[in-house]
Structure 1
Amino acid sequence: MIDTRRLRTLRAVADHGTVTAAAAALHLTPSAVSQQLGALEHEVGHKLLTRDGRGVTLTAVGRIMVAHADEVLAQLERAEAEVAAYATGVAGEVTVASFATAIAAVLSPAIRALRTSSPGLQVRVRDAEGDQSLTMLLDGEADLAIAVEYRGAPDDHRLTRLPLYAEPFDLVLPADHPLTAPPLSALAKETWIGPYPGNPVHDVIAVACEREGFAPHFAHSSDDFRAVVALVGAGAGVALVPRLALRDLDLTGVLVRQAHGPERRVFAAIRRGAERHPLLRPLLGALKDTARETGLTTG
């Protein structure tokens, strides 16, 4: 009989590439992870991993087991959802991992609405920039993630996604910039300010500029849009900023102009099999409602 806890451990090692990283994600010691993997190999009767430098890679049998692990874990999510749905009433805690702008724009209003419609539902929020929220979701540290689509993002079959909104970008220029409403192509030789590589917004900006025939030179990097706008106001460069991120910021010393084309597409994600969970369904519904109120819904 294969222990499902060991399947989770194998999945974590496949995700993170090393025993040490998987142990951190699972809140176990590396030796405990190694013991679970050894026990699973004994149960299966085949070697599942091979050393690859400082990391590990799956053997052919390891890949087979990971594929089956995904199906088993999804089925367990369905079982938990049905058992929870059988209980009377909606009461419990849900952890949501999200980037800061979405917390302010859609998650906080959704929590406010749920206090009336589902008072027994408690939402715990974790600020997670970039694609960290999806990692937290897959690692079991969150029950729902709010994230941004980006080029090269894996289409992970372990997730079910719900589109929330598509947010345009605005061009932010120093107030004394000689071009008050330039096309992106006119800014090819400018100094740029933006998020670090790895942040999906960085990728959206890079793709938008590539479509205009140039690669932006990022001289200054920050994942905090307050800092980005402040640097533009100081004359340090130009930036593309998601429109909702500009709300309530100090725009002294900058010009804000609409940029045509770039947008960040925001979605909610849950683990496959949890679609009918009684705690997640009202939360997803509230998120969809508050996303619609932004006027930026994807349809």
Structure 2
Amino acid sequence: MIDPRRLRILRAVADHRTVTAAAAALYLTPSAVSQQLAALEQESGHTLLIRTGRGVRLTAAGEILLAHAHTVLAQLERAEAELAAHAGGVTGEVTVAAFATGIAEVLAPAIVRLAEERPGIRVRVRDAEGDESLPMVLDGEADLALAVEYRGAPREDDRRLARVPLYAEPFDAVLPAAHPLADTGRVELAELADSDWIGPHPGNPCHDVMLLACELAGFPLRLVHTSDDFRAVVALAGAGAGVALVPRSALLGMELKNTVVVPVAGPAATRRVFAAVRRGAETHPLLSPVLEALARATDGLSTG
């Protein structure tokens, strides 16, 4: 009989590609993970992993078992959801991993609504960039992620996650007030091809959006200044250090000293935001009200 707890470990190793990284994500020692994997191989009667340099990869048998692991673990999540619903009382804590703008513009209003309508649900917030929150959910560090679509993100049909689209918003160009294009009502990205750029570090989903937008406009992004804090990005633009693309909601309530915000003409860069939980958990009586509150908090945020 295969122990489903070991299937979680197999999935973590498949996600993180090394035993050490999987162990860190699961708060286990590498030796404990190795022991559990060895026991899983004994239970299944197959070699499941092959070492490749510093990492590991799944064998054909390992891939077969992993596919079943997604189904089994999702079903266990559904079982927990149904048992919680049967128990009746909707009281407990939900950990949400979210990026900074999402916390300010979406999660905080949702928490206010939950406090009024579902006072038994307590939300614990973890600040995480859009590409960090999904692994936190998969590893069990968070119950729900408020995430941003990015290159390499799990697809909508990923068997590990259930996704709820929330909103899409454009990026606006932020220019120094003295910039020659500051007085135009709309700017083509190609007109900024020779500019120095300010933006998030590589690996940040918004960096990927900027990179792709510039590629589609026919020029490579020349990123000179980097910060994941959009307030710092806007301040640098105001100092004349360069130009930037910033999600529209990130500019709400921000001091725009010595800068001009100009909409982008043509196919604009867009940030797509969604919520995600482990597949099978979307009907959990603690999680479904949070998902609903997030969706209601995003009314009016989709702009274009």
TM-score (norm 1): 0.96
Q: Could you list the per-position Cα deviations for residues 61-104 of structure 1 after superposition, in whole angstroms to 9, with x for gaps in the alignment? A: 11111111111100000000000000122111101001010101
Aligned AA (1:22): A
1:150 and 1:94 mapped to 2: Cα distance?
Answer: 25
Aligned AA (1:255): V
Unaligned residue ranges in structure 1 (runs of 5+): none
Contact 1:204 1:263 (8 Å CA) reproduced: yes
Q: Could you list the per-position Cα deviations for residues 122-163 of structure 1 after superposition, in whole angstroms to 9, with x for gaps in the alignment? A: 000100013100010111111110111123423122111111
Query: Which of 288, 296, 299 is equivalent to 2:295?
Result: 288
Match for residue 38 of structure 2? Answer: 38
Helix, strand or coil at the partner of 1:85: helix
Contact 2:99 2:128 (8 Å CA) reproduced: yes
Q: Could you list the per-position Cα deviations for residues 153-208 of structure 1 after superposition, in whole angstroms to 9, with x for gaps in the alignment? A: 23122111111111111110111112213321111011001111111111111121
Query: Runs ≥4 in structure 1, deviation > 4 angstroms?
Result: none
1:158 and 1:274 mapped to 2: Cα distance?
Answer: 10
Q: Does 1:262 align with 2:273?
A: no
Q: Could you list the per-position Cα deviations for residues 199-244 of structure 1 after superposition, in whole angstroms to 9, with x for gaps in the alignment? A: 1111111121122111110011111101111111111110000011
Unaligned residue ranges in structure 2 (runs of 5+): none
Amino-acid identity (%): 68
Query: Which of 194, 203, 208 is equivalent to 2:199?
Result: 194
Helix, strand or coil at the partner of 2:130: coil
Aligned AA (1:161): R
1:153 and 1:110 mapped to 2: Cα distance?
Answer: 25
Query: Which of 231, 238, 249 is equivalent to 1:233?
Result: 238
Match for residue 85 of structure 1? Answer: 85
Match for residue 122 of structure 2? Answer: 122
The RMSD of aligned alpha carbons is: 1.3
Aligned AA (1:78): R
Contact 1:164 1:297 (8 Å CA) reproduced: no
Helix, strand or coil at the partner of 1:259: coil
1:142 and 1:241 mapped to 2: Cα distance?
Answer: 27
Match for residue 16 of structure 2? Answer: 16
Match for residue 166 of structure 1? Answer: 168
Contact 2:130 2:146 (8 Å CA) reproduced: no
Residues 57-96 of structure 1 mapped to structure 2, 5 A cutoff: 57-96=57-96
